Structure 1
């Protein structure tokens, strides 16, 4: 694991393999290891001949923990991704984001289309433009003295996951409370690079892959059978779909 300064914020990252670069952006309360290493993504992509760059989002994993609302938000976190590419002298890359990482990937693609070869939105379908309700209860759950004090089922799931990943609960609470920049259907329709949307059919957090793909000209959608938000991450069909998608883009 290495680090670099993203406009003064220390960001931890992994850089493995050779070939066409793929940038991986993890989800909320996760990190490089949990989202991409333990699920087999880094191995799958490097064995397929790709160079894999993954980083811990600010406030997550081994990256710097920040405690002000203005230090978070998807547009700002997308700039961390762009600066990492600058740091590694990568002109453009395939981008794969999961959940919050998919939202960050969308802002990266909108702000810097020339840096994105293609983009995969994993674990986030139509709710990318509808927004995530109930962030307040999740923040409260993260700030609770004990998980035993959390009664909201969804919020308890996030608290449990944050504890499993050894996260800084205070930093995560600030992250999820931060102002959520709007991402509209009209905005995602302007994405200029090939798009693949992959979501589990039982993922109530992400919502429909088909509905989001329908908003983006030329986008493709894959729905994973019997997979919820957590179980879809390392799904074999997810990996196969992404490899086929990248190969098609590279061959074009």
Structure 2
């Protein structure tokens, strides 16, 4: 027997990929830059963790990532646009409300979604995203140059090399990722962060230099909490057991499994 076809839906004229796992209260998992639903959530054990806890884990491949269609137009990758894709997926599945679990770029998308559609979001987890939700990403231009360089040999900056290697490992469309990096890192206004009035857990690795401080962001959020993931940097915090345990505790208080 061949593999089952990947589930698809359409948003903003683009065909995007998703998967659902388990049953129970839905948790929409939104992956980070240059990643995918599989890499960010399946391979790290998150889907298993959520389904065993009694949740339905929904993984989305953002535009330009994973099995989803690509675009080389930067305007297609604003956080607001990708948040609209996530809402379109909930609509496609007939889901009125879902907890959000976002990592890095996925956390930024989750923040814009929670701000614009609080009625759809009982609670949210911002992983790998602290105060840089407001401050933006300082080395984005370096990452873009690294993605578009003829080969890895031309990429010298450590962060740019990290993302170039990751993009090659995931066999990503590097031109699409460069377009995504141009606009997806748009900062959220401090005043808008203060208006995200749903419970939010901000979880950042202790050695994560890309995310910014979690405690400071949590203090701005009306219902914010912070957790520091010990001895983890941006890449290694994703599937950490402390992150998972804190998330399950948070969900149990704000979106209990049935």
Same fold (TM over 0.5): yes
Alpha-carbon deviations, 1:78-105, whole Å to 9, x = none? 0000000000000000001000000000
TM-score (norm 1): 0.97
Aligned residue pairs: how many? 251
Structure 1: gaps spanning 5 or more residues: none
Query: Residue 210 of structure 2: SS of its match in structure 1?
Result: coil
Instruction: Give the aligned CA root-mean-square deviation in angstroms.
Output: 1.1
- 1:218, 1:173 → 2: CA distance? 34
Alignment match of 1:157 (pick from 147, 159, 162): 162
**Distance of 1:214 and 1:79 partners within structure 2:** 27
* 2:58 alignment partner in structure 1: 53
Q: Name the SS for the 2:99 alignment partner.
A: strand
Shift of 1:179: 6.8
1:152 deviates by 1.3
> Residue 42 of structure 1 aligns with which residue?
47
Superposition map of 1:62-141 within 5 A = 62-141=67-146
SS at match of 1:96: strand
Moved more, 157-166 or 96-105: 157-166
Deviation at 1:44, TM superposition (A): 0.5
Q: Deviations over 1:217-241 (max 9, x none)?
A: 2311000110000010000010110
Q: Identify the residue that residue 8 of structure 2 maps to in structure 1.
A: 3
TM-score, with normalisation over the residues of structure 2? 0.95
User: 1:145 offset after TM fit, Å?
Assistant: 0.9
Equivalent in the alignment of 2:198: 193
Could you say what secondary structure the match of 1:221 adopts? strand
Return the alpha-carbon distance in structure 2 between the equivalents of residues 169 and 179 of structure 1: 15
5 Å matches for 1:150-229?
Answer: 150-178=155-183, 180-229=185-234
Deviations 1:138-157 (A, max 9, x none): 11110111001111111111
